[in-house]
Amino acid sequence: MTYRFDYSWIAEYWPVILKGLVTTVELTLIGTLFGVALGIACAWTRSLGPRWLRPPVVAYVELIRNTPFLIQLFFIFFGLPSLGVQMTEFQAAVLAMVINLGAYSGEIIRAGIEATPRGQFEAGASLAMTRFETFRHVVLIPALQRIWPALSSQIVIVMLGSSVVSQIAAEDITFAANFIQSRTFRAFESYFLTTGLYLLLALALRQALRGVGNKLFPRRAAR
Amino acid sequence: MMTFTLWDILRNLLLAARWTVVLSLVSFIGGGLLGMALLYLRIGKARAGQIFVQGYVELFQGTPLLMQLFLAFFGLGLFGIDVPAWLAAGLALILWTAAFLVEIWRGCVESVARGQWEASASLGMGYVQQMRYVILPQAVRVAVPPTVGFSVQVVKGTALTSIIGFVELSKAGTVVTNATFEPFTVYGLVALIYFALCWPLSKSSQILERKLNVAHRNH
């Protein structure tokens, strides 16, 4: 192979990459926070909530889990404006991530809630807790603890999946890579470098989530 | 200006959906074969093989599929190969699929109780015989539902190949949108077609899981 790697552009385009990195991290943070919150709401509805609310939640979860993220993103960014809902690339990207993670994490969290023994609910009730208090204090935290590894993997998957938001011109890492390759014609180098960044980001995110897990569920360490 | 009826849109999308199906099948079968080869290394005795597969899995699960597609598309070009989009798409998807299947299947093999290995060893079976007659038949039973479930991810993964210019359902959606200026309808229909492809797979994965589990409980 006679090809020579050429990274002479790196100094000039470093700020672009850094900006992309910040955007990807921001997207992941906001998407995770609201996505998991939505997931908890869905899981609560499906296992404990009012019966009439369950079919719409099931429809939402099935629809999102069986269609590609890219199409969800396009539908939100290109499709919704015809209903009068206009948003920026970043807002559309966040919304798509929240909706996507909400459906997946909802299923994961539901599995955690359904593994809770019935006796726990009864114990909560016998302490005169309301249904909501029982959910909040007795059911949710151990459920989250149980499924934390699965939830962490899903969050990493959503972070990696966010690379397609470059397709609606949200300026993430992939957008930076495309930008650089269009300017320097160094396609392989720019994608190689940014792929490495994603790999580091995935490792860092997994470590961070493990740390958050240990903080949130200190009892696990004690046991 | 030409006008498009709903039927025109749907017909064009369905024609393109054929390529989504073909690419999914190629990726799933190719990825399955590669995954089996990797599984052989991963659960084998050679340490180097285990480390190689671990690294492989880490690499392909820890980077976006889109980047892998780009690297396949532009990377093969470095070797002086003129890369058509379908080749890069197929290659990247096969490598990506294998990385997930090998991890799923490893879990299934490891779910077979240790005692089964010991029992078959005490019957004087060699490694290949143990695998062939004792471990794999049990592991396959556990492996079927998650494997079918993962095929949904493969179908959805093919959507990304539109970005490197392979014309399948997603790309057709973009093309038709540009012609009709009706993104709401077109992407809505695209989503429904993907749903029609994926939902039966998801459902059968769930049903299989229930069926095989029930059989397991009766033992």
Mean pLDDT of chain A: 93
Is A1 inside a domain boundary? Answer: no
User: At CA B218, angle to CA B215 and CA B219, rounded to 5?
Assistant: 95
Instruction: For residue A115, count other CB atoms closer than 10 A to its CB.
Output: 11
- How far is the C-alpha of B111 from the C-alpha of B181, rounded, in Å? 52
Contact assignment for A71 to B195 by CB distance below 8 Å: no
DSSP A78: I
What integer is the mean pLDDT of A53-57? Answer: 97
Give the pLDDT score at A64.
Answer: 98
Buried (b) or exposed (e) across B57-84, using 16+ Cβ within 10 A?
beebbbbbbbbbbbbbbbbbeeeeeebe
Poorest-pLDDT segment among B74-83, B124-133, B138-147: B74-83
Q: Are A206 and A32 in contact (CB under 8 A)?
A: no
Closest CA to B97 of B151, B37, B148: B151
Give the pLDDT score at B215.
Answer: 57
Return the CATH number at A53. Answer: 1.10.3720.10
Give the pLDDT score at A147.
Answer: 95
Contact assignment for B184 to A74 by CB distance below 8 Å: no
Residue B37 pLDDT class (50, 70, 90 cuts): very high
Is A23 inside a domain boundary? Answer: yes
Contact assignment for A63 to B195 by CB distance below 8 Å: yes
- Residue A132: is it exposed, middle or buried by C-beta count within 10 angstroms (0-12/13-18/19+)? exposed
Q: Are B9 and B182 in contact (CB under 8 A)?
A: yes
Q: Which residue has the tokens 């809505």?
A: B188
| Each residue's pLDDT tens digit, A66-86 | 999 999 999 999 999 989 998
CA dist list (Å): A6 to A38, A48, A59, A188 = 45, 58, 50, 10
What integer is the mean pLDDT of B28-37? Answer: 98
Which residues make Cβ contacts (< 8 Å) with residue B120, sequence separation at least 6? B129, B130, B133, B134, B135
Residue B214 pLDDT class (50, 70, 90 cuts): low
Poorest-pLDDT segment among A187-191, B81-85, B187-191: B81-85
- Residue B20 pLDDT greater than 60, yes or no: yes
Is A5 inside a domain boundary? Answer: no
Is A25 inside a domain boundary? Answer: yes
- How far is the C-alpha of A75 from the C-alpha of B169, rounded, in Å? 14
Structure token pair of residue B65: 């599929």
Alpha carbons within 13 angstroms on the beta-carbon side of residue A32 total: 22
Structure token pair of residue A147: 């499924």
Of the candidates B68, B70, B198, the beta carbon closest to that of A66 is on B198
Residue B64 forms contact with A (CB below 8 Å): yes
What integer is the mean pLDDT of B35-58? Answer: 95
Is A153 inside a domain boundary? Answer: yes
Closest CA to B73 of A52, A176, A181: A181
Mean pLDDT of chain B: 93
Structure token pair of residue B40: 């052989």
Q: What percent of chain A has pLDDT over 90?
A: 75
Residue A222 pLDDT class (50, 70, 90 cuts): very low
Residue B83 pLDDT class (50, 70, 90 cuts): confident
Residues of B in contact with A79 (CB under 8 A): 183-184, 186-188
| Each residue's pLDDT tens digit, A85-139 | 989 999 999 999 999 999 999 999 999 999 888 888 889 989 999 888 899 888 9
Contact assignment for B64 to A174 by CB distance below 8 Å: yes
Closest approach of B37 to chain A, Cα-based (Å): 24
Give the pLDDT score at A219.
Answer: 66
Contact assignment for B59 to A199 by CB distance below 8 Å: yes
Give the pLDDT score at B175.
Answer: 94
Name the CATH code of domain B6-212 (choices 1.20.1250.20, 1.10.3720.10, 3.40.50.720, 3.40.50.920). Answer: 1.10.3720.10
Q: Are B189 and B133 in contact (CB under 8 A)?
A: no
- How far is the C-alpha of A158 from the C-alpha of B42, rounded, in Å? 27
Instruction: Please tell me the total number of residues recorded for chain A in this structure.
Output: 223
- Residue A56 pLDDT greater than 70, yes or no: yes
Instruction: Please tell me the total number of residues recorded for chain B in this structure.
Output: 219
Give the pLDDT score at B11.
Answer: 94
Residue A63 forms contact with B (CB below 8 Å): yes
Alpha carbons within 13 angstroms on the beta-carbon side of residue A171 total: 10
Contact assignment for A163 to B67 by CB distance below 8 Å: yes
Residue B210 has phi, psi (to 5 degrees) of -65, -45
**Domain-by-domain residue ranges, chain B?**
6-212
Residue A87 forms contact with B (CB below 8 Å): no
Residues of B in contact with A66 (CB under 8 A): 152, 156, 194-195, 198-199, 202
Higher pLDDT, A219 or A148: A148
The stretches of chain B forming alpha helices (DSSP H) are 6-42, 47-61, 65-78, 85-111, 114-122, 127-129, 136-157, 169-180, 183-217
- Residue A20 pLDDT greater than 90, yes or no: yes
Give the pLDDT score at A21.
Answer: 97
Contact assignment for B64 to A83 by CB distance below 8 Å: no
Buried (b) or exposed (e) across B165-201, using 16+ Cβ within 10 A?
ebbbbbbbbbbbbeebebbebbbebbbebbbebbbeb
Give the pLDDT score at A223.
Answer: 45
Is A7 inside a domain boundary? Answer: no
- Residue A30: is it exposed, middle or buried by C-beta count within 10 angstroms (0-12/13-18/19+)? middle
Is A115 inside a domain boundary? Answer: yes
Poorest-pLDDT segment among B29-43, B120-134, B136-150, B201-215: B201-215
Domain count, chain A: 1
Q: Are A161 and A101 in contact (CB under 8 A)?
A: no
Structure token pair of residue A65: 């889990």
Q: Which domain holds residue A89?
A: 13-222
Kindly identify which residue of chain A lies nearest to residue B197, measuring between CA atoms. Answer: A66
- How far is the C-alpha of B76 from the C-alpha of A188, rounded, in Å? 9
- Residue B3 pLDDT greater than 80, yes or no: no
Residue B204 forms contact with A (CB below 8 Å): no
Find the Cα–Cα–Cα–Cα dihedral B148, B151, B153, B157, rounded to 10°: 180
Contact assignment for A79 to B187 by CB distance below 8 Å: yes
Is A8 inside a domain boundary? Answer: no
- Residue A190 pLDDT greater than 80, yes or no: yes
